[in-house]
């Protein structure tokens, strides 16, 4: 029951407060440790394919072990002091693991700049939440990129953490966030990280495989609840769910593209180089700035549906 209470209240806190910059955040600590750990490990192993692969494995296992063990110990000792203190800390941990409000806040910055016809600042704020080059994007390109990142992060920033939290509380949630953060920092297929980040990139794919499918189906249901084209959402999901280099990234993007009846993905520039990518969805209508707002609404309804569904299932199992 403790996990249910912590997850549910933590979810509400995230929806209300988001991620205040002044509040120390465990994920920032994980990111700091990854950066420092990478420097140390690269000095320890030779600059060869095998050396980088082994180094990447060691860094990954060290970070995810730390991310799991530390909250286990904190919650254990908090429980020795007071059960109420343990639940309070557990709730704060769950709150910090979730990112629905943060995702909305960052993407809405882009929305407001576009509404004010400020393309320069829209590109700047977009660059904070996407990996592609944003300097030459048009209003349409900016809008499409914002919608894509909301849709994709609905899975790995909101629903997947919820699943791990419901399964194993904050320790398992932090373990997932560690894998996710490692992948976002070293899981690139460029010259620097091709071998060093290979292990965590594959691990992230494994961790997100089932959550991405669950996220997609919950989002299809949310499309119905929000009055969007849920039938087309299901159709495009079935057709385009593999239209991405990552086995998981296209799933919620496909649902979103279908629900909005727009075309997403396609070629994009990364670090000055054109990357050829498959498209997702159909070009039934031109994407509009308001679609950022609509996608955020879809993300929120998906998140609320997920927490009710998963907490309900866990409650039934407990009873």
pLDDT at 314: 82
* Mean pLDDT score, 106-130: 94
Instruction: Share the mean pLDDT of the chain.
Output: 92
**Which is it for the CA torsion 99, 101, 105, 111, positive or negative?**
positive
**Which is it for the CA torsion 13, 17, 19, 24, positive or negative?**
negative
For 150, how many CA atoms within 13 A lie in the half-sphere containing its CB?
A: 36
Domain count, the chain: 1
pLDDT at 10: 95
For 40-87, the pLDDT digits (tens) are: 988 888 788 888 899 999 999 999 999 999 999 999 999 999 999 999
The answer to whether 228 and 217 are in contact (CB under 8 A) is no
* Mean pLDDT score, 287-302: 96
List own/partner pairs for 127-134 with CB under 8 A and 24 or more apart.
Answer: 129/103, 131/270, 132/268, 132/269, 132/270, 133/268, 133/269, 133/270, 133/271, 133/272
For 236-263, the pLDDT digits (tens) are: 999 999 988 788 989 999 999 999 999 9
Question: Is residue 271 predicted with pLDDT exceeding 80?
Answer: no
Give the domain range for residue 279. Answer: 2-318
The answer to whether 255 and 237 are in contact (CB under 8 A) is yes
pLDDT at 319: 65
């Amino acid at each position: 029951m403790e996990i249910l209470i912590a997850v549910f209240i933590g979810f509400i806190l995230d929806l209300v407060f988001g991620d205040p910059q002044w509040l120390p955040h465990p994920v920032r600590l994980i990111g700091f440790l990854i950066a420092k750990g990478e420097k140390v490990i690269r000095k320890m192993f030779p600059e060869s394919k095998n050396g980088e692969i082994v180094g990447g494995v060691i860094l990954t296992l060290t970070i995810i072990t730390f991310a799991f063990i530390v909250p286990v110990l904190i919650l254990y000792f908090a429980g020795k002091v007071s059960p109420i203190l343990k639940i309070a800390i557990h709730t704060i941990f769950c709150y910090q693991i979730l990112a629905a409000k943060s995702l909305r806040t960052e993407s809405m910055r882009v929305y407001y700049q576009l509404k004010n016809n400020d393309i320069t600042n829209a590109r700047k704020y977009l660059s904070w939440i996407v990996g592609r080059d944003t300097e030459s994007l048009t209003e349409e390109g900016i809008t499409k990129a914002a919608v894509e990142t909301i849709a994709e992060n609905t899975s790995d920033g909101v629903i997947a953490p919820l699943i791990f939290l419901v399964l194993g509380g904050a320790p398992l949630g932090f373990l997932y966030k560690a894998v996710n953060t490692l992948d976002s920092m070293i899981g690139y297929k460029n010259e620097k990280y091709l071998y060093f980040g290979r292990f965590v990139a594959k691990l992230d794919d494994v961790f997100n495989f089932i959550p991405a499918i669950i996220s997609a189906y919950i989002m299809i249901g949310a499309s119905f609840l929000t009055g969007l084209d849920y039938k087309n959402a299901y159709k495009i999901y079935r057709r385009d769910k593999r239209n991405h280099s990552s086995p998981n990234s296209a799933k919620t993007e496909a649902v979103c593209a279908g629900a909005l009846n727009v075309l997403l993905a396609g070629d994009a520039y990364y670090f000055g180089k054109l990357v050829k990518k498959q498209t997702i969805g159909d070009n039934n209508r031109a994407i509009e700035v308001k679609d950022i707002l609509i996608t955020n609404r879809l993300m929120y309804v998906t998140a609320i549906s997920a927490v009710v569904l998963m907490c309900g299932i866990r409650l039934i199992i407990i009873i």
